Chains A and B, each alone.
Chain A
């Protein structure tokens, strides 16, 4: 009788959760944490670069807009990486921001002057990640969940509406 090949009980997985100072100076620390996890699982640099860029944009938005650069508020980042997926959860208690309602910009159609004013962060996050979900909790937390798959591509930015 042919013996059925057993599936491994556990996928290779690493995770980390940390609270960082909500300052632009913390951005390299976030980049290093994601890169270190990916390297430990053999995920190549180009694939993880997209995740790093999306998370950077999200954290930068929290620091500059949700917190107006006040560094006393908490910014929590949870990263869970398996060999075929990275899931990042970013949590803050700043001003609500409805990520889902923010329109994707048609960059090519924008004038040079309009482009110089910026506002590309959300567009990049939605373009780079497979799943984006924003939830404003009843207790006043912004929760942004970002997922990137490395196996079969699943390209759909999804999201639930603000529950606040």
Chain B
């Protein structure tokens, strides 16, 4: 599946932006993900929820983008993720990401946690 990234405001939180990843985030495509998310942060959208439902592969380059974004929004923003497949979650887990980033099984769970 070709890589795509887009974003939309969450309909349940006006400050939250959902960034949807589709396809594979590898060393080739990770810069496009970073550009999209950094663009949002520069516009003041500092609460991001990354939707991984259609993400079928992520390498360390892609996970590195999550780390960059986490350090960017540290203090006055947030970065969370949802809908990770078991394979993608395992990659995050091997790098200790669940220790520092909130990960939700579904949008319903993410929404519940933000209230």
A residues touching B (Cβ–Cβ < 8 Å)? 24-25, 27-28, 31, 45-46, 49-50, 52-53, 56-57, 60, 63-64, 107-108, 110, 112-113, 115-116, 118, 120-121, 123-124, 127-128
Contacts and interface: CB of A to CB of B under 8 A. Distances in A.
B28 A25 contact: yes
Interface residues of B, number: 24
Interface string B37-75: 000000000000000000001011101100110110010
Contact of A112 (B26, B61, B63, B67): B67
A24 B95 contact: no
The secondary structure that dominates the A interface is helix
Nearest to A127: B94
Given A57-B59, A116-B64, A116-B71, A108 B27 contact: no
Nearest to B3: A28
B108 to A, nearest CB: 25
Contacts of B91: 53, 124
Given A27-B28, A31-B24, A45-B87, 5 more contacts: A50-B87, A57-B59, A64-B27, A107-B96, A120-B63
A31 B100 CA distance: 29
Interface of B: 24, 26-28, 57, 59-61, 63-64, 67-68, 70-71, 74, 86-87, 90-91, 94-96, 99-100
The secondary structure that dominates the B interface is helix
Contact of B60 (A46, A52, A124): A124
